[in-house]
A = this chain, B = another copy of it.
């Protein structure tokens, strides 16, 4: 299958090209990527506090993980520290951002302008994270025409979903946020696939099927709530 191809490719060519983010080992656990995200948030805070150097123990303590875990996570991608010293906060922060693919601005579209979609449109946190919503779609734009995102006073007009393909090309959209009712999720996904929008963040509690090369991540509140309910019931 396709995965194997990628795995071997990475293994073989790893560390050949310097200065480009490459894998030192073949497969990176998803948990590692999640933790990198966490490290980067901590490092950003430390940088703002004026801290210069941090040890794996300090960072681990800050992020509630094992110090060896921090070092292992980073080891997937190269060597970033100085033995006997630690890591330079600023450098490590930027290295992790680069590893995560955040050394660019990701252009996103929201599809579905219900309460959730509207909330996403003006979600402040995207601003500093190098994500930007550059388009909004709904099946019934008239009812919401005039609704704008509040960020930076720059309005985002709501367009009809049949314009996804055209607009995605035009605005170089790479990620679609599906905030429709579950019944519409797959057909919206199909439109995104057709428009070659490779990344999908799916808020609709429905399983979405995509071809090889496309990526879906689900954000299901109720699944997480179920988890919480289980823990509360059994502890």
Contacts and interface: CB of A to CB of B under 8 A. Distances in A.
Given A100-B229, A232-B198, A222 B131 contact: yes
A221 interface: yes
A213 B230 CA distance: 13
Copies in the complex: 2
A226 B100 contact: yes
B229 A201 contact: no
A174 interface: yes
A37, A115, A225 — which one has the most chain B CB atoms within 10 A of its CB?
A: A225
Interface in A195-214: 198-201, 205, 207, 213
Nearest to A198: B232
Contacts of A100: 226, 229-230, 233
A101 interface: yes
Interface string A121-153: 111111001010000000000000000000000
Contacts of A75: none
A1 B132 CA distance: 44
Contacts of A213: 235
B199 A101 contact: no
Question: Per DSSP, are chain A's interface residues mostly helix, strand or loop, or mixed?
Answer: helix
Contact of A223 (B34, B63, B106, B199): B34
A178 to B, nearest CB: 12
A136 to B, nearest CB: 13
B123 A115 contact: yes
A33 interface: yes
A231 interface: yes
10 contacts: A2-B235, A99-B230, A100-B233, A101-B233, A102-B229, A106-B225, A124-B181, A175-B228, A201-B228, A219-B224
Interface of A: 2-3, 6, 21, 23, 30, 33-34, 36-38, 40-41, 63-64, 99-102, 106, 114-116, 118-126, 129, 131, 174-175, 181-182, 198-201, 205, 207, 213, 215, 217, 219-235
